[in-house]
Structure 1
Amino acid sequence: MDSPLRSVFHQTYMNTDMFVGGDCFDDYQWWLLGWLQVYSVEPNLDYLYRAADIYDFVTVNAWNDTICRGGIQWCPKNAYKNAITNELFLVKWQWFEASGLINGYNLINDGLSSTTETISTSHKENVNHFQDASCVNNNGITWTYNQGVILTGLALLYNSTGNATLLDIAQKIADATIQRLTYSDLILKEPCEPNCDTDQQLFKGIFVRHLAYLIPYLTDAAHIQQYKSFLEQNAESVWTSRQCERDGLYSLIWSNQSSASCNTSHNSSTTSAAWDLFVSSAKTKSLSIKSPSNWTYLGLGNCADDKNASMPNFNKMNVTKIECRTTAEQDTGAVAYDHQFGCNGIQYCRIRTSSGPHQTPQGWSYENGTTKTVTRSNKFPVTSCFLRVV
């Protein structure tokens, strides 16, 4: 690989050890998976050995039978058996399945309780197998990432064992997530919304990434289409309506039924989750990253050509992003449009067009220009440029 990533991988390896990134066993295992991914891109044995060292450390130091008859404890100084730490160590699937972590709705709760105050029904409709060992499902929050990571784990276990029951369980978890962890428009919802911390803001991206990983292993055409459509629907919602025009970042909430995207949490974590969604949808070959009306996001700023010259345009003040796009869609000469959402709340639309002044929409103004093309945006921070896809 001849890429700047090679240097990034090398520098990261040289400047970290296997305990970087956190003090708990789930933290170590995220890095383990990261190094495996790095090795798949850049096959340097140092990266594979780093992953193996982390695995050996977790195996020796994290598994204990004194609580819940097994399982990986969360941290060296915290014996809590939580779902994510054990999903990342799914080589012990028999223990995980019997633990009761998967509830009667086929969703995975946060972890196990070491008290006998609560009895949870497992997905197999049996009383928690570990009740006699004082461990039951704690009925904790069903985070979306807990429903996601296990999908890849079960798919890979199926691939190595041929046990089709594992795929059935994965599909039940994915189906339950789509049914129970979504808004009324079937757009994915994190239980903490709208008040999620920066870690929780990443969780939906993790779910959709692993849902996309699961799809190639499935043989049921109905489920395959269902999951592809789910990813596409979510991606279209986020791409077309959940980007804050002021800074180009995507919001925490993916449903367009919520308040304006600039009024909800939007930062690098929420934007990372959104791009996980776009990549996952593109991987399933259901969606190219564009809106249903064939407009693609060119970048922040006003639409211009390579010399920063502007096309003729129709323009209007106090125009919403939806009205701006709809008007551009109706103009057969429209090449691009830019929409500005100023810090004072004033919105402004310019439709870059080859149409003449006599075709100006009612209530709009016409402004002449000096070029006939749009090839870039000028990076003005409160404006977004969209290019028509031919």
Structure 2
Amino acid sequence: MDKQRINYLLQKYLDRSINDTEKQELFNLYRKIGSQYAEYPDDRESVSERILLRLNEEIKHEEKRGGFLKPWKMVAAAVILVTASIYLVNRHWSSPKEIVQKNPQKQIILPGANVATLTLGNGKKIFLNSANQGKIAVQGNTVITKNASGQISYKVVNDNPSTNDQQIVYNTITTPKGGQFKITLLDGSNVWLNAASSLTYPSTFKGNERHVELRGEAYFEISKNKHLPFTVAAENINIKVLGTHFNVMAYENEPSVNTTLLEGSVSLTSKNITTTMVPGQQAIGAKNRNEITLHFVNVEDAVAWKNGYFSFRKENIQTVMNKIARWYNVDIEYRGNISDKIMGGTVSRAENIAELLNYLELTGIAKFQIEGRRIIVICK
């Protein structure tokens, strides 16, 4: 069995980027496997294909951090890995339509994935998770490519002076609820977009600055260029840097724009207020009044989403549920008096949503019910 091929097709199927030919190939492989082994009892049907994929992601994340899984996590990982592997190989494959018919009342809510749409300056839309690897668009002397990891990047392929006077074209990359994506801009800067976010930027940087506009949340690693500062417009805040690492959270349904600096130096401006940040600080720009406040924070909390985790340190139930709603693509309904008590803790973004809500219930602040794609928060 070509395990690499099955994993490749399965990932495309889960990301909804698989084409009809690949889907048929995947179904045929699973039917072939299913005919060779006994089928699991019905009560194992609740096991998700994503368990194995998400577990691998978490293990890779731990290795990247240079740490080790705790002993109990290693045991749990081994059990889940074996269970998921046997389940995926041994069960008889059902098409999505067949699964829905077996469990018409149950809707599986999966964590987010690498999903985004690129809108070019001419209005053309490219669905990046389904786009083929390689060149996906050309704008003047700039080529947009998608690599094997599913990320896109910009590169000048013909630095011809005759093309340097071309009109600047603005592109927008947009992630839906339940999506995230990484992009490398023409100057080599890397940007990670969180769920329900968008970044508008020129295909090539000209003039006296590198300017982009953000809605939602993004983590920036900016290439240094002292002659060409990088600027970000996010709601009522303008951010100016020369080369640095920082995170910006600027969702419309949040009360403030939060900028967290990990490395370098950042200058923020809001109307007639300008302030400079140092690493380890977070700037809170209130939307309903003209002020920016600075305080030192644990910067890992701000970029936890990029590293595959939720961090709920000193956050209230509404802030927590906003994060969950964006990543799992669900609606939130509150019942009762909403508590202003704060939470704490870190949870994997690969977690099953039911397990995540069970964890939150342990705080005693609220109980949760799942109805379709709606999470009902019953406040105490």
TM-score normalised over the length of structure 1: 0.27
- Name the structure where strand makes up a greater proportion of residues: 2
TM-score normalised over the length of structure 2: 0.28
Larger radius of gyration: 1
